[in-house]
Amino acid sequence: MTFQPEALPAALRRQFPLLGRTVHGQPLHYLDNAATSQMPQSVLDAIANHETTARANVLRSVHFLAEAASAAYEESRAECARYLGAGVPEEVVFTSGCTGAINLVAHSFGDGRGPGDGRGPGDGLGPGDEVLISELEHHSNIVPWQMLRQRRGIVLKALPVTDDGRLDLTHLPRLVGDRCRLVALTHASNVTGAVTDVASVVAAARAVGAKVLLDGAQYAAHGPLDLPALGVDFYAFSGHKTFGPNGVGVLWARGEILADMPPFLGGGEMIRRVTIEATTYAEPPHRFEAGTPPIAQAVGLGAALRWIRGLDQAAVQAHLAALTRRLLDGLAALDRGRGLIRVIGPGDLAARLPVVSFTVTGAHPHDICQILDRHGVALRGGHHCAQPLMDRFGITGTTRASLACYNDAGDIDALLAGLEDAMARLRVGTGASGLSNP
């Protein structure tokens, strides 16, 4: 490959105005992309352009601006559909984010029209019906199902996790039985970076007629998808983790499923005809978009996905794999075989995203992150909204570096230098009492 490791991020970096700033007098090393990624100039321009030339409410007024706003909003939906490999734009529902999308499914598919007797996707789940999640899900893909359990008496099961932070799919035959109606798993872990073997999950679910939901919050930023080929039924992700704005996300679902599902929220925009006695609902996707949607945000999301599609995906992947390797090797070198630094995640770069979580014996993740912040390095420490996974590993939190295409070797080296400083300040490995308490 002719790819030059540093040429790629340098060219990309220039497109992100925020990355040029300093923090605490240091160049910014932004390594918290799994929480929120930054927006390139083209996305910022698309939002500003929309707000200054076409701002109006959508799908109601007939004036010029309203037409322009509606066109931009629907074009953005089409862009999302192209990115996801979806058949038609109508399979794309704009939500407030990934959490909003999963909650929509928990209500519209989970509750459905009432306690499920039939097997239609709009019939809803009833007592004894099963939803399978996993121990490494984000709270956003746990709590909505616990709430559904409270409403409907469903049974919630969880797939275990291997010692290197992957879903343990050997348990699928045991956990996906006749009563299983939905398998809701993350496409990639926001803690361990492990990427889910979707084909195995889909095969197990299909065998019993269960639907599959993938939480794409982490995976979606890493290149265009072909959801119909993946064989899943629902896909959820957020704009702010895909180089777009926050306040917007997407639920994709197969057309025939959306068509049968009742709405979740009621209000304007989602109706066909309202009388005081009764209401008939609009067709999807508008049935699921009650009220004024996040219009400029949706336009920004469309621009962000277009921007990702314009990248050389193979070069980006090679670049991120090289940086992940550099980070993993650097952590091992810093540890010097003392067993103080423990990476929680797969060692195989092909099976993981550039999301690296680690613990340091004797140093709390928030203390590490606070000291690294002075070095200009933005990391995240804590439970990452995945407390069952923390319990699985017997820890309260990890320190996490999550990379995007604009990161470079300088970012990784700044992290490693900062971590060395943090370990010294926190007296890691010196046997100092009291601080070994993460």
Partner 1 sequence: MSEDLYQNDLLRLAAEARGTGRLQAPDASVTLDNPLCGDRITLDVQLAAGRLSALGHEVRACVLCQAAASVIGRHAVGETPARLRAVAGEVRALLKPDGGPATPSAWPEIAAFQPVAAIRSRHVCVELPFKALVAALDAAAPEGGDA
Ligand X SMILES: Cc1ncc(COP(=O)(O)O)c(C=O)c1O
Residue numbers at the binding site for partner 1 (CB under 8 A):
364-367, 370-371, 373-374, 381-383, 387, 390, 396-397, 425-427, 432-435, 437-438
Q: How far is CA 49 from CA 78, 241, 245, 375, 391, in A?
A: 19, 22, 14, 36, 47
- Give the dihedral sign, CA 83/88/89/95: negative
Among residues 80, 98, 369, 385, the one annotated as catalytic is 385
**How many residues are recorded in the chain?**
438
Encoded one letter per residue, x for contact with ligand X by CB under 6 A and - for no contact, window 229-268 reads ---------x------------------------------
295-309 and 64-84 are packed helices; what angle lies between their axes, rounded to 10 degrees? 40
Contact partners, residue 53, CB within 8 Å, separation at least 6? 68
Which of these segments, 45-53, 83-91, 96-104, 276-284, binds ligand X (CB under 6 A)?
A: 96-104
190 binds, among ligand X, partner 1, none (CB under 5 to 8 A by kind): ligand X
For residues 322 and 405, the answer to whether their CB atoms sit within 8 Å is no
Among the listed ranges 8-16, 95-103, 260-268, 425-433, the one in contact with ligand X (CB under 6 A) is 95-103
Shortest distance in whole angstroms from residue 300 CB to ligand X: 14
Residue 29, binding choice from partner 1, ligand X, none, Cβ under 5 to 8 Å by partner class: none
Q: Which is nearer to partner 1, 15 or 36 (CB)?
A: 36
The interface region with ligand X, picked from 5-13, 57-65, 215-223, 416-424 by CB under 6 A, is 215-223
Q: Is 402 in the site for ligand X (CB under 6 A)?
A: no
The residue written with tokens 């361990």 in the block is 192
The answer to the question of residue 98 lying near ligand X (CB under 6 A) is yes
Residue 138 touches ligand X, criterion: CB under 6 A: yes
For strands 211-215 and 180-186, give the pairing: parallel
Cβ 433 to partner 1, closest distance in Å?
A: 6
Closest separation between CB of residue 213 and ligand X, Å?
A: 11
Cβ proximity to ligand X: between 138 and 254 the closer is: 138
Q: What is the distance of C-alpha 436 from the center of its chain?
A: 32
CB of 14 to partner 1, least distance (A): 30
Q: Which does 402 bind (CB under 5 to 8 A by kind): partner 1, ligand X, none?
A: none
| Residue whose C-alpha is closest to residue 321's, from 216, 222, 217, 214 | 222
User: Rounded to the nearest whole angstrom, what is the least distance from the CB of residue 189 to partner 1 in the complex?
Assistant: 17
Residue of the chain from 37, 76, 108, 186 that contacts ligand X (CB under 6 A): 186
Choose the one of partner 1, ligand X, none that binds residue 154, judging by a C-beta under 5 to 8 angstroms depending on kind.
none
- Contact with ligand X (CB under 6 A) among 9, 40, 97, 122: 97
Q: Which does 397 bind (CB under 5 to 8 A by kind): ligand X, partner 1, none?
A: partner 1
Who's near 329: CB < 8 A, 6+ residues apart?
none
Q: Do 27 and 38 meet the contact criterion of CB atoms below 8 Å apart?
A: no
DSSP codes of every residue in 285-337:
TGGG--SS--HHHHHHHHHHHHHHHTS-HHHHHHHHHHHHHHHHHHHHHHHTT
* Cβ(299)–Cβ(47) below 8 Å: yes
| Alpha-carbon distances, residue 269 vs 143, 274, 278, 293, 329 (angstroms) | 28, 11, 16, 9, 53
Q: Which stretch binds ligand X (CB under 6 A): 72-80, 210-218, 390-398, 411-419?
A: 210-218
> Which partner from the list partner 1, ligand X, none does 381 bind, CB cut-off 5 to 8 Å by kind?
partner 1
Q: Is 192 a residue that touches ligand X (CB under 6 A)?
A: no
Asked if residues 19 and 33 have their Cβ atoms less than 8 Å apart, the reply is: no
Active site residue 80: no
Give DSSP secondary structure letters for 112-157: TTSS--S-STTS---TT-EEEEETT--GGGTHHHHHHHHHH--EEE
Residues between 11 and 40 that touch ligand X (CB under 6 A) = none
Interaction site with ligand X (CB under 6 A): 97-99, 138, 140-141, 186, 190, 215, 217-218, 238, 385
Residues designated as active site? 385
